[in-house]
């Protein structure tokens, strides 16, 4: 501060002080008008006031992102504790919106979607087989009914139904045979889907994997 500026600042400060005093006196003498003036001022400046609050909140968050994340997690935790089941109810009530949100996300993140699908199918091998067969059946224009491999094997007494079974130990299927090994149990389409056989339990039979592969599309 230069010494020459000091008297000017003193004068400005004195003017502001006198204006505040006049305002205080006027408000004391006119309380109704004063309240009305305050109300009008706030209404006119509401959006600006909110924006100032938002901006200062943004600055606080930017200055300390980790504290903000901790506070957000803590807030969510308290909310979940105070409202058990709220998240499920919210999703239930917003099912359509959630579906749309998922669709937009997948559209915007095709890579993430494929990766998530791959992980899900890895964890649900039965579902993948079902989805593949349903798709093949739809493409071939043949009927499809949901079925499970275990139900087919149980129904056929864990016995390979192919007349020219290749297994040296006989037609019995070992439930403990490893996944994708030659003698594990599989379900064979009696009439292949490619030859318009339906993808339904009636058109399925238990078979060793190797026997099923050897049969191929016959
Ligand atoms: Zn066999």
- Per-residue pLDDT of 194-213, as tens digits, reads 999 999 999 999 999 999 99
Query: Residues 26-43, buried b or exposed e (16+ Cβ, 10 A)?
Result: eeeeeeeeeeeeeeeeee
Torsion of CA 104, 110, 112, 117, to 10 degrees: 100
How does strand 185-189 pair with strand 204-208? antiparallel
Could you tell me the distance, in angstroms and rounded to a whole number, from the CA of residue 20 to the centre of ligand 1?
A: 100
d(CA 172, CA 157): 8
pLDDT at res. 1: 47
Q: Give the mean pLDDT of 15-30.
A: 89
- Least confident span in 87-91, 146-150, 157-161, 196-200: 87-91
Tell me how crowded residue 8 is: count the other CB atoms within 10 A of its CB: 9
C-alpha 212 to ligand 1 mean position (Å): 7
Between the CA of 201 and the centroid of ligand 1 the distance, in Å, is 19
d(CA 107, CA 75) in angstroms, rounded, equals: 31
If you search the block for the tokens 């003498």, which residue do you land on?
Answer: 29
Alpha helices in 64-148 (DSSP H): 65-82, 86-93, 95-108, 110-123, 125-140
Task: Record the pTM.
Answer: 0.45
210 CA distance to ligand 1 centroid (A)? 7
The single residue listed with the structure tokens 């224009």 is 141
Strand partners, 75: none
């Amino acid at each position: 501060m230069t010494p020459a500026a000091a008297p000017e600042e003193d004068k400005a400060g004195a003017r502001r002080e006198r204006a505040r005093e006049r305002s205080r006196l006027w408000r004391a003498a006119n309380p109704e008008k004063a309240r009305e003036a305050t109300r009008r001022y706030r209404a006119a400046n509401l959006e600006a006031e909110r924006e100032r609050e938002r901006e200062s909140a943004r600055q606080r968050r930017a200055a300390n992102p980790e504290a903000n994340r901790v506070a957000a997690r803590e807030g969510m935790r308290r909310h979940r504790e105070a409202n058990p089941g709220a998240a499920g109810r919210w999703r239930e009530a917003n099912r359509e919106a959630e579906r749309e949100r998922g669709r937009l996300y997948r559209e915007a993140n095709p890579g993430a979607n494929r990766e998530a699908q791959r992980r899900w199918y890895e964890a649900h091998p039965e579902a993948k087989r079902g989805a593949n067969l349903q798709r093949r059946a739809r493409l071939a224009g043949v009927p499809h009914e949901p079925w499970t491999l275990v139900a087919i094997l149980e129904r056929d007494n864990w016995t390979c139904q192919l007349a020219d079974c290749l297994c040296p130990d006989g037609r019995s299927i070992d439930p403990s045979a490893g996944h994708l090994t030659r003698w594990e149990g599989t379900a064979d389409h009696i009439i292949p889907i490619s030859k318009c056989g339906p993808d339904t339990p009636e058109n399925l039979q238990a078979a060793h994997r190797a026997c099923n592969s050897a049969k191929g599309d016959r």
